[in-house]
Amino acid sequence: MALAQDKKGLVLARIPGTSVPLAHTVFGGSAFILAFIIGCYAHYYKIVKNGVAGYPDEWFPSVSATTGDWYPERNVCQIFIALAAGPRLILCFLWYLLSTRNVPASGSKGFAKFLFANDVVRSVACGGWIFVTSSDDHDIHDIAMIVYLLCTIPHFVGTIKTAPQNPKSMKYRKLFAYTFFGALVPMVHFFIQHNVHRIPGAYTYYAFFEWSLIISDLAFDAVCMIDFAAFELRVVDVGVSGKHDGSTSALNDLKTYGGSDSAVASFGSIKPFEAISFVSDVYLAFVFWSMLTSLPLMIWYFPLWHMGLSGYEAFLFCNVSAVLLGINFLRRGIERSKGFVHLLSLVGVLSYKILDPAQRLMAVAAGVSLSLLTWGATLFGQRHQNGRAERGVLTLALGLILHNIVKQAWWANNPIWPIMNENTGGQNMIGLVLGVLASVQVMLRKEPGEDEPQTIQKTGESWLLAAISAGGYLFCLHSMFTDSTTISRWSLGGYPNTGPQPVPGGLMVIAAMAVGLTVSSKRRWVTSLIWWVIGTAGLAVLHFFEGDVGFAGGIVFTVYALSLFPTLFRSLSRQPPGRTFLVAMLVYNIFALAHVWVVAYAFVPVGVWMRERTDYVLIAMQTTILLGIFNSNSAAWTVVTEARSRSAFSVARLYSKLSLVGLVLASLGICYNRLPKSSPQPYHPEDKLITAGIWTIHFAIDNDMYSSEIRMRDVIRDLELDVIGLLESDLQRMIMGNRDLTQFLSEDLNMYADYGPGPTKHTWGCTMLSKFPIKRSTHHLLPSPNGELACAIHATLDVYGKEVDVIVSHNGQEEDLLDRQLQTTELGRIMRESDNPFLFLGYVVTKPGKGQEIYEMLMDGGHVHDVEVSDWDRWCQYLAFRGVKRTGYARVSHGGITDTEIQVGKYQLLEDHPTSWDRSQSIEDFKKEETYAQISEHQVPEGMRFPSMFHGEGIRKHRFHVFDRPYYYA
């Protein structure tokens, strides 16, 4: 290399800037490539073997096994990593110089120093997990790996933020960042399959994604060759004095690529990245709705077990933290760092790992508060950019629809709720990883639409009316549109006038939500008084009519409600954020409490005022929405427009329409997949056996505050129940998560289902599942002048070609004797007036036996036989029968699912057994007809026995208890 002279002295060498990242890439890549080749040649069968399986199930080696377990591949890897360490540290320092040169576009010198320190720590951590292998010290190896991965997030984000505005390098950096973080999702999935479920072959697929991380990591840093191509490193002999003029620093020769406008234009032309950005926002909106809907559900666990107010209800008011948006510097800080705050809010998703229910609730409340602050700051910060504001509101609406579709796929449960886990069908870790990726994407990107023309506001809107309207509207969305089956359950009637079932009713609701959001752009129409009247009429029809007519009204109201989403949320974002969000959340909380009070009136203060007054709540809700419409119409706007081929507004509308099409198609696919494949069949038709049970299930939340549907399904299946009544089963309220256990159990067990009286009937719910076709049914609200309203289902089943009547009921509490008397009298009347064989499956608070008023009113008044008169240890659940031959009776422990056991009776419908009763017969003669002669189990045909798995310790904590065995009868 020829020597030259410059102002500082004799130039000894000129080194291209690209040589440093090139050396780092070559040495780093060689370390892993050579280790892989040598390892496969020398120790293939050893490096593919793991603690679960070996070859041929496992056939591709992991990174750690390749680089850390055997000589010589381990040592070759370590040598080349050592060679790469020098260029790596120089690269960190050069990037620090580059980023300080790029201030203020890159942020600040303080951030550049932080990024430099982070990258040095990351480099040392890399040496930690390379040179200290898992066989040397497993803990040190894992700690170094964790530190390395944690430092990778700010490394990727900081590098992109501080990079020169070079479209080519920016494109590749984002590509490799997406592939790096995108590989984490399947990698975590296959690691769980390997480490938790111990599936042979899963670690091979894990290894593919582990190697892809190495490739993406090296490629991300290799992109520096593009940025460093514009300058060179010089070795200069400055003489004895060492003095020089820094004005000709090599970094001053760095070429600058375009301004912010060109960068924005370049970003807008990259449609895949634009789409990823939009999808990330929609997913974070889905996370927001998921956490918001899980909060009341988790609060409900505590008053459920306390049978009254518990104090934990105060966590409902965690949302008033939105008042902090009134602090300007805090709001601006959240908006600028919203990706990071979104990341912090994921503590609400991660909380499923917390076993203590109270601590889990606290974590969810923190997540809701942080997510609400982030979305509030986002909407407020976008209020002056018309396109960006439209994007923020639309992604929030699409997140709500996505929430419905995900719940539809999980039978009305949300797989990332904290009441879900690996044992209950949850996908919490997948949801968490996707949330991390979406948050990182927000950190990485340059916000679209930053150069949109501003909207100049001349508004006469009232912040107070905007706040009140937003609170009422948020309650409307939460209470009615966070599950696609809520509308069909509100309009539910008895057979055959049930209205649409969850399939296809849920699809129709989701399509109506999509239509509503589509027509929301017709602002003049959707904010008109006539449109409000149409929506209110639809709501009235839904509330007062059952079956198809009520459901049709609900569809009209769904279109109406979703069409207001952009208008009301945009109006909210135009107001002073602190006081506006505070009042909005207080109004929402008041509605939420009223929504609970209408059914929980017997357990809350001044409950008598709100008893069964859902109509009051709906009238107040519609009034607040009307105030918001009038308030929004009072605003006058002048928009400064500027010609643009691809504005943020048009981009938001385009992607929202594409998303709506995709979401509706996804719902269609889910419904098709859930269509029944065959008709339900009883378990033992050869014996004409009917196995029937009753179970109070405490709203499908088990004793540890996790969802219990899967465990309920398992025990119902294992007990071979042909008919079962489930009590406290109406979950279509905010405090129960707007869930619907009936659809999951009926579809998975292949049974017919009658949901019972719906949410507008103000009961705690009773449901009947049956292997026999339901010919007709009637829903009853039993008399209740003092206490809680009691529900009952009176159904007629087609049992082996004959009609058999069944009652499932949930009567009132011990405190209200008059209620229990009237309710039991009504049940007796229904049973007494039927000529069909009868099964009673119910909850009647009384002690059994002669002299007990309520007990005798039920058995004698209904002309039915107790399943076992000698069983004195009962209090609330009872089985009774008439016109069938009783063959068995058992009591099965609840298994931690609830606090109430399962009671099961076995009956036969025989030709020679009397199936009707003589109305002139006295109750004494009627009682003499039934004997209680018990026989031993070995005298019973095997098909008519209770499953043997419940003997002794039982299965999944379910066992025969009280008698420790079933009873059988001759």
Q: In Å, how far from its chain's centre is CA 41? A: 46
**Residue in 879, 817, 871 with CA at minimum distance from that of residue 848:** 871
**Residue 639: how many other CB atoms lie within 10 Å:** 10
**Residue 44: how many other CB atoms lie within 10 Å:** 13
- Cα angle 963, 968, 970 (rounded to 5 degrees) comes to 145
| Per-residue buried b or exposed e for 359-397, using 16+ beta carbons within 10 Å of the residue's own CB | ebbbbbbbbbbbbbbbbbbbbbbbbbbbbbbbbbbbbbb
**Residue in 834, 817, 733, 732 with CA at minimum distance from that of residue 783:** 817
Q: What is the pLDDT, as a whole number, of residue 452?
A: 42
Fold agreement (272-456+645-666, 459-633): yes
Q: Which of 597-606, 632-641, 892-901 has the highest mean predicted lDDT (pLDDT)?
A: 892-901
Check whether 450 has a pLDDT greater than 50. Answer: no
| Beta strands in 499-618, from DSSP E residues, in sequence order | none
Q: Which of 179-193, 290-304, 384-398, 652-666 has the lowest mean pLDDT?
A: 384-398
CA distance 616 to 11: 86
Give tens-digit pLDDT for 815-848.
889 999 999 999 999 999 999 999 999 999 999 9
Q: Mean pLDDT, to the nearest integer, of 323-327?
A: 94
Dihedral, 691, 697, 702, 705 alpha carbons, nearest 10: 150
- Cα angle 394, 398, 400 (rounded to 5 degrees) comes to 120
Q: What is the pLDDT, as a whole number, of residue 387?
A: 57
Q: Mean pLDDT, to the nearest integer, of 741-747?
A: 96
Check whether 638 has a pLDDT greater than 70. Answer: no
Token pair of 223 as six digits: 């992109």
Q: Mean pLDDT, to the nearest integer, of 533-555?
A: 96
Q: Which of 380-384, 704-708, 862-866, 950-954 has the lowest mean pLDDT?
A: 380-384
Q: Mean pLDDT, to the nearest integer, of 540-549?
A: 95
**Which amino acid makes up residue 937?**
E
Q: What is the pLDDT, as a whole number, of residue 100?
A: 78
The architecture in CATH of the region 459-633 reads Up-down Bundle (1.20)
Angle, helices 357-381 vs 328-336, to 10°: value is: 90
- By three-state DSSP, how is residue 214 classified? helix
Q: What is the pLDDT, as a whole number, of residue 761?
A: 94
Q: Which of 80-94, 235-249, 523-537 has the highest mean predicted lDDT (pLDDT)?
A: 523-537
**Residue in 133, 125, 113, 477 with CA at minimum distance from that of residue 288:** 477
- By three-state DSSP, how is residue 378 classified? helix
CA distance 947 to 574: 64
- By three-state DSSP, how is residue 853 classified? helix
Q: Mean pLDDT, to the nearest integer, of 902-929?
A: 83
Do the Cβ atoms of 291 and 368 come closer than 8 Å? yes
Give tens-digit pLDDT for 356-404.
999 999 999 999 999 999 999 998 876 655 556 778 899 999 999 999 9
Residue ranges per domain, the chain?
Answer: 14-47+57-258, 272-456+645-666, 459-633, 687-969
Whole-model pTM? 0.81
Strand partners, 779: 793
Region of 166 on the Ramachandran plot (φ > 0 left; ψ -120 to 50 alpha; else beta): beta
Q: Which of 3-12, 331-340, 864-873 has the lowest mean pLDDT?
A: 3-12
Any idea which residue has 């496992």 for tokens?
58
Check whether 453 has a pLDDT greater than 50. Answer: no
Angle, helices 502-519 vs 648-673, to 10°: value is: 170
Q: Phi/psi of residue 245, each to 5°?
A: -100, 115
Spatial neighbors of 512 by CB under 8 A, at least 6 apart, are 555, 558, 559, 562
Check whether 3 has a pLDDT greater than 70. Answer: no
Do the Cβ atoms of 699 and 728 come closer than 8 Å? yes
Strand partners, 892: 902, 960
CA distance 245 to 885: 107
Q: Mean pLDDT, to the nearest integer, of 732-754?
A: 96
Spatial neighbors of 190 by CB under 8 A, at least 6 apart, are 202, 203, 205, 206, 209
Q: How confident is the model at residue 112 (pLDDT cuts 50, 70, 90)?
A: confident
Q: What is the pLDDT, as a whole number, of residue 385?
A: 58
Q: What is the pLDDT, as a whole number, of residue 820?
A: 94
Token pair of 753 as six digits: 């289902």
**Residue in 217, 224, 218, 214 with CA at minimum distance from that of residue 169:** 224
Check whether 702 has a pLDDT greater than 90. Answer: yes
Check whether 260 has a pLDDT greater than 60. Answer: no
Q: What is the pLDDT, as a whole number, of residue 109?
A: 75
**Residue in 463, 460, 455, 459 with CA at minimum distance from that of residue 384:** 455
Q: Mean pLDDT, to the nearest integer, of 657-669?
A: 94
Q: What is the pLDDT, as a whole number, of residue 2?
A: 46
**Which amino acid makes up residue 863?**
H
CA distance 640 to 380: 19
Q: What is the pLDDT, as a whole number, of residue 447?
A: 62
Q: What is the CATH number of domain 687-969?
A: 3.60.10.10
Which string of DSSP letters, residue by residue, matches 138-193?
HHHHHHHHHHHHHHHHHHHHHHHHHS---HHHHHHHHHHHHHHHHHHHHHHHHHHH
Strand partners, 882: 838
Q: What is the pLDDT, as a whole number, of residue 386?
A: 54
**Residue in 102, 363, 379, 133 with CA at minimum distance from that of residue 257:** 102
Strand partners, 707: 701
Strand partners, 792: 780, 809
Q: What is the pLDDT, as a whole number, of residue 779?
A: 97
Do the Cβ atoms of 74 and 133 come closer than 8 Å? yes
Q: What is the pLDDT, as a whole number, of residue 107?
A: 53
CA distance 436 to 733: 30
Measuring CA to CA, how many Å separate 300 from each of 364, 664, 936?
A: 13, 32, 45
Strand partners, 13: 235
Check whether 456 has a pLDDT greater than 60. Answer: no
Q: What is the pLDDT, as a whole number, of residue 154?
A: 86
Q: Which of 141, 155, 698, 810 is an active site residue? A: 810
Q: Which residue has the higher pLDDT, 691 or 927?
A: 691
CA distance 443 to 59: 37
Any idea which residue has 């752009």 for tokens?
521
Q: What is the pLDDT, as a whole number, of residue 741?
A: 94
Spatial neighbors of 217 by CB under 8 A, at least 6 apart, are 152, 180
Q: Which residue has the higher pLDDT, 576 or 641?
A: 576
Q: What is the pLDDT, as a whole number, of residue 641?
A: 39
Give tens-digit pLDDT for 146-204.
888 888 988 998 888 888 878 888 888 888 888 888 888 888 888 888 887 788 999 99
CA distance 56 to 407: 39
Check whether 688 has a pLDDT greater than 60. Answer: yes
Tell me the pLDDT of the chain averaged across its residues. Answer: 88
Q: Mean pLDDT, to the nearest integer, of 619-626?
A: 98
Q: Which residue has the higher pLDDT, 388 or 206?
A: 206
Largest CA distance in the chain: 127
Check whether 896 has a pLDDT greater than 70. Answer: yes
Do the Cβ atoms of 895 and 711 come closer than 8 Å? yes
- Cα angle 137, 143, 145 (rounded to 5 degrees) comes to 100
Q: How many helices (H) and strands (E) does the chain have?
A: 32, 19
What SS3 string covers 891-954? Answer: EECCCCCCCCCEEEEEEECCCCCCCCCCCCCCHHHHHHCCCCCEECHHHCCHHHCCCHHHCCCC
Any idea which residue has 């089963």 for tokens?
729
Check whether 550 has a pLDDT greater than 80. Answer: yes
**Residue in 943, 682, 716 with CA at minimum distance from that of residue 802:** 682
CA distance 37 to 77: 11
Q: Which of 62-71, 217-226, 518-527, 918-927 has the lowest mean pLDDT?
A: 918-927
Measuring CA to CA, how many Å separate 749 from each of 548, 676, 840?
A: 26, 11, 22
Q: How confident is the model at residue 7 (pLDDT cuts 50, 70, 90)?
A: low
Is domain 272-456+645-666 annotated with CATH 1.20.1250?
yes
Peptide bond between residue 72 and the one before it cis (omega within 30 degrees of 0): yes
Q: Mean pLDDT, to the nearest integer, of 676-683?
A: 93
Q: What is the pLDDT, as a whole number, of residue 384?
A: 53
**Residue 544: how many other CB atoms lie within 10 Å:** 13
Q: What is the pLDDT, as a whole number, of residue 271?
A: 65
CA distance 813 to 815: 6
Any idea which residue has 């008011």 for tokens?
317
Percentage of the chain modeled with pLDDT above 90 = 64
- Element at 619 (helix H, strand E): helix 614-633
CA distance 546 to 488: 9
Q: Which of 126-140, 245-259, 482-496 has the lowest mean pLDDT?
A: 245-259
Token pair of 758 as six digits: 């719906």
Q: What is the pLDDT, as a whole number, of residue 923?
A: 84
First to last CA, the chain: 108
CA distance 500 to 574: 40
Task: Please indicate whether residue 141 is annotated as part of the active site.
Answer: no
Q: What is the pLDDT, as a whole number, of residue 15?
A: 74
Q: What is the pLDDT, as a whole number, of residue 269?
A: 38
